[in-house]
Structures are given as structure tokens and as C-alpha cells.
Amino acid sequence: MTKRIALFLLFAALAVISESCTSGKKQEPYVLLISFDGFRHDYVNTFQPPHFLEFIEEGTAAKAMIPSFPSKTFPNHYTIVTGMYPGHHGLVDNTFYDSTQNVVYTMGKRELVQDAFYYGGLPLWQLAQQQGLKSASYFWVGSEAPVAGFYPDYYEIYDGDVPNEARIKKVVEWLQLPESERPRFISLYFSLVDSEGHSSGPNSGKLKETVLEADRLLGLIDQKIAELDLPVNIIVTSDHGMYEMTETAETFIYLDSLFAPDDSIKFANSGPIVHVYEDDSTRQEQIFQSLAAKETHFKTYRRKDTPNQWHYDQHPRIGDLLLVMEPGYYFRNGSPDTTKTMMDSPWGVHGFDPYVTPEMGAIFYAKGPNIQKGLLVPPFENVHVYPLVAKILGLTTPSNIDGDPDVLMKAFVE
């Protein structure tokens, strides 16, 4: 009897120990990657949004995050989730020409936006899936296309009319799924700051109100995530900043003044950058010399001669020639006679060379159980976010990414 009691007590003790070990098992980390489109690196200092300030104190912040060239929405969002420069992943601009398909890709052509053909690299949601983790995306460039043959486990087709609170609600619901179905990587996108920055400029009272609304959303996210009691690392980014534009007699350079009416030249885009496509090398050189002679507040590049830091000299979707504006000036289609100015001064523009235009600087703020607290890091290029996310989630990165894990290693806590 005594021996039976002893055995019973032993098994009971082992059961308690086993249960204790199980309940004390370390939970695997999660990453919520957020983009506030167009949130400039100095908005927090300028407008003092309280939730952003608190968020920064509790984690790691960069003085600025340097967008990839060109500092546009589509290429930079896709760079953040692939760790590759636009000239390498192939989404080279918001608008570009693809000669193999004889088609102009634009953000407004839904059938192209949802076509995996245009998206190189391996997005974070696919990296997670390939290594056994669930993933989700609420409006992120590339997540509507079956890149590498698959969609994220959970995703939404872009609809700018969906209220921001509804987006947050869905993310929380994903994180409340049973553990086996729960996404460990989630991306989330908001456009409000970019929209107002374009409309009224980066220094307006309306922009301040919008930044404070973004701050309210961040506070709501922080609150909801805290209530879940999960080890979620929140990384807040943006794709680019914003440059204030005011109209003068020289602000606009009209493309009709650069190209002869009978020129059968393919070109794409306007604004700070124009891509010119010409296969014939002799004709290409003639066009280059003609444009170079007309340079006023812009510079003409042969693709192969673009600055090294752009990493923009190889992909065939990049124009054979590039016209790149100085900050504060803008290419427009047509001529002064045919094109009416629709914008009230001031307004906001991005797309300028981020290496000579500090106003293009984006944000990087992160906090969570795997993020160093109270750390300020110097400006870094946005290709380096990818290896940090992979490190947090325990994922092995592809060998062809441009991001360097050492750049943000100080921000990582085991």
C-alpha cells in the first residue's frame, strides 16, 4: 500500500511538472508589418503624435529609412517585403513598359496588378509559407498576385473605401484564430497620410490632422494587440516621404517640348521621372543627345549609366533612357496649351532621388518582445527590413536578396 501511495504521489508530481513545463513553454513570435503610406521621417518631430512618441520610446527607431529609387509607392512597398531593390525585383515604378508583353503596367490596371508575372523575388508572406508558417496581408503591394505560385493564406483585394478600423478589426480576428490556423506574419496598409500629403502638402494643417488620425489608429492597434497577450512584434514603416511643391513659371516641364510631334517614342510616367524606351541603339543615342541638350532642372541618363546607389541599371522594364527631375520640378504630359494645372499650391510630390532629397525619407519604428528597447539607429535603406523580419520569425532568407541582416542586428533581441 505504501509503495502504491508513493508511486501515485510520484506520478502526480510528474504530471504537475509536465503541465507546468507545457504552460510555461515559450510562444513563437509574430510580426505585424504596418505601412503608413507617405509618412515622412520628420512628421513625428513636427506634429508630436503621442502614440507614435510612446511607441518609439518602447522600441527601436531609425532617424530615417531611405527609400529605394524611385521613391514611389509600388516599388518601395514591394522592396520592403522582398528585400530587393526595384531594379532587381522588377516592379521598377508605379508605371512602366514591359516589352515582352507589349503592355504598360499601371497601378490602375487591376488585371496587371494581380498578375504574378510582374513580381520577382520572394515576398515575406511566401517566405513564411514555404517554411511552414501561416501568413496574411491586408492591402500590400503584391499580395493580390500568386507570387511564386501562391497567395498569402489570408488576404484582401485592395479597396480604398474599406474603413481603417475595419482593417484593424480583421487583423485582430486573424490573430484570434486557433494557433494552427493563426498567421505568424501579417502586413497591413493605410493610405490616409499619403493622400492628404499629396492634396495639401507636407506642412499643412490638414496634414497635421491626418497624422494625428494615423496616430489614433496606431494607438488602437497597440491596445488591441496588447489585449491578445501574444508575443507580437509590431514594425511601422512607410514607403517614402513627401516634398512640398509650389507652382512657379518653371515648375512644369511639358513632354511635348522635349519630343518632336512626329517622334514615335515609347515613354512611360510623368512627375519626377520619365522612362524612354527605344530598342535601336543609333536612334537611342540621337534621342539622348537631343534630350541632354534640353536639360532644364532635369538630367538625362542612359540606363547603364545611372548612379550605382540606385541599383537601376539592368532590368529591361527600366527605360533605355531616364529623365530625372531635380526636387521641386515636375514633368507633365502634353503642353501648356493642352494641359490645365489642377493643383492648388502648395501640394505634395514624391519620386525624387532619395539620396539627394531628404524629404523623401521614410519611417521605421519597431517594438515587441524581439525588439531592442530605447534604441535609435542611423538612416538605413529599406531593403534591410526583410532580413530583420525573417530573423524574428526564424526564417532562412533567399541568397539573392539585397538586404543585409547585420544592418539591424542591434535591434534584434533573442
Catalytic residue among 73, 95, 210, 300: 73
**Dist CA 412 CA 19 (whole Å):** 31
Identify the DSSP state of 179: G
Q: What are phi and psi of 304, to 5 degrees?
A: -70, -15
Enumerate residues 6+ apart whose C-beta is below 8 A from 93.
Answer: 70, 72, 74, 75, 86, 268, 269, 273, 275, 317
| CB distance 220 to 168 below 8 Å | yes
Enumerate residues 6+ apart whose C-beta is below 8 A from 69.
Answer: 85, 86, 87, 309, 310, 311, 312, 353, 354, 355
Print the SS3 string covering 282-348. Answer: HHHHHHHHHHHCCCCCEEEEEHHHCCHHHCCCCCCCCCCEEEEECCCCEEECCCCCCCCCCCCCCEE
Tell me whether residue 46 is one of the annotated catalytic residues.
no
| CB distance 238 to 37 below 8 Å | yes
**Dist CA 232 CA 368 (whole Å):** 6
* Residue given cell 498569402 in the structure block: 152
Task: Report the catalytic residues.
Answer: 73
